[in-house]
Amino acid sequence: MHELAPELGSLALSALMAVAAGLMGSFAVMRRMVLAADPMSHIALPGIGIALVLRVNPLWGALALLLLGAVLIWAVERRTRIATEAVIGVTFAVALAVGSVITSGEQLIDALLGARGTLTLHEALFGIIGALIVIVFVLRQRNALVVRLVSPEIAMTSAVNVARLDLYFLLAFALTIGLGLRFLGVLLMGSLIIIPAAIARRFARSLGRMLTVSVVVAVAATAVGTYVASVAGRPSGPFIVMVAGGLFFLSLLRRRET
């Protein structure tokens, strides 16, 4: 029983993280941010390096830089007319280069692919609170996000503060990536945000179905991937993404409804 409790806690936490990823991914996919999730997660890397140098928990360094990166994208996107993906791509390719210089060896592998081991109390609390923030944000703001998605101008005349909503969305997106760092690592968290939503988009014809399918796939991939990884005695991140990717390829076998 003593052995089982931390495992169950960890599983519940990763399920919560998967719900957040499924919800956030739905809007990221609909906003054509599919390719942005991956490079955006790279900015966590120099944060991890700096945190290790300063001898603080790498998670906090990663989180700080992810949130800073979100504000940076928001500010650059407002000033220029360059598409978000170009800004994200360039900024975070540089971040990855810097990160790989100041992080090295095993730390780098852990940061990229996720580390095994028990979570500290602070990490667990961050996981719970962070996931709840993302879940509540998406569910509460879904109407504003839907209108913003169709037309920013319509949103403006519907009493939506579009600039603020965009900032909160990017911060929530960065937070979602931060949630997965400990489990999946920098490289793989973007995939858990995008793949379930990409599967959902193939079949959903309404927002409710999109959100539901995306969350169910994210949770299922996380649960199955974590179980297989524990049996194999390996880090869970790659297995979670392999299961999600497998489901995506399976989904290609079914024709899309028109």
Partner 1 sequence: MNVLEVQDLGIRLGGTEVIRGVTFNLPRASCLAVIGPNGAGKTVMLRALIGALPHTGKIAWAADTVLGYVPQRLDIERDLPLNGRDFLRAKAALAGSSSAMQAAALRSVGLAEEVLATPIGNMSGGQFQRLLIAFALLGNPNVLLLDEPAAGVDAPGQAHLNEVIHGLQDTHAMTVLLVSHDLSVVYRYADHVLCLGRHGACFGPPRSALTPETLQEVYGQPLGFHVHTHA
* Complex with partner 1: residue 129 or 146, whichever CB lies closer: 146
Instruction: At 48, list the tokens.
Output: 């991890």
Asked if 235 and 248 touch (Cβ cutoff 8 Å), the reply is no
Asked if 222 and 18 touch (Cβ cutoff 8 Å), the reply is yes
Instruction: At 33, list the tokens.
Output: 């941010």
Contact stretch for partner 1 (CB under 8 A) within 60-68, 91-99, 106-114, 199-207: 199-207
* Complex with partner 1: residue 129 or 139, whichever CB lies closer: 139
Using CB under 8 A as the binding rule, whether residue 161 contacts partner 1 is answered as: no
Return d(Cα 217, Cα 184) in angstroms, integer. Answer: 16
Give least dist CB 119 to partner 1, A.
34
* Complex with partner 1: residue 168 or 227, whichever CB lies closer: 168
* Positions in 50-69 near partner 1 (CB under 8 A): none
Give least dist CB 164 to partner 1, A.
14
Using CB under 8 A as the binding rule, whether residue 256 contacts partner 1 is answered as: yes
Instruction: At 25, list the tokens.
Output: 């991914």
> Cα–chain-centroid distance for residue 2?
31
Number of residues forming the site for partner 1 (CB under 8 A): 30
Instruction: At 235, list the tokens.
Output: 């880090």
Asked if 217 and 199 touch (Cβ cutoff 8 Å), the reply is yes
When binding is defined by CB under 8 A, the residue of 184, 204, 218, 240 that contacts partner 1 is: 204
* Complex with partner 1: residue 198 or 244, whichever CB lies closer: 198
Return d(Cα 209, Cα 60) in angstroms, integer. Answer: 35
Return d(Cα 97, Cα 226) in angstroms, integer. Answer: 30
Largest CA distance in the chain: 57
Using CB under 8 A as the binding rule, whether residue 199 contacts partner 1 is answered as: no
Site string for partner 1, 12-31 (x = CB under 8 A): ------------------x-
When binding is defined by CB under 8 A, the residue of 73, 175, 210, 229 that contacts partner 1 is: 210
Give least dist CB 133 to partner 1, A.
21
When binding is defined by CB under 8 A, the residue of 81, 105, 117, 253 that contacts partner 1 is: 81
Task: From 192, 181, 194, select the one nearest 220 (Cα to Cα).
Answer: 192
Instruction: At 76, list the tokens.
Output: 């650059």
When binding is defined by CB under 8 A, the residue of 146, 232, 250, 252 that contacts partner 1 is: 146
Using CB under 8 A as the binding rule, whether residue 75 contacts partner 1 is answered as: no
Instruction: At 135, list the tokens.
Output: 């879940």
* Complex with partner 1: residue 78 or 122, whichever CB lies closer: 78
Helices (H), strands (E): how many in the chain?
12, 0
Residues that bind partner 1 (CB under 8 A): 30, 81, 142-144, 146-147, 149-154, 156-160, 200-202, 204-210, 256, 258
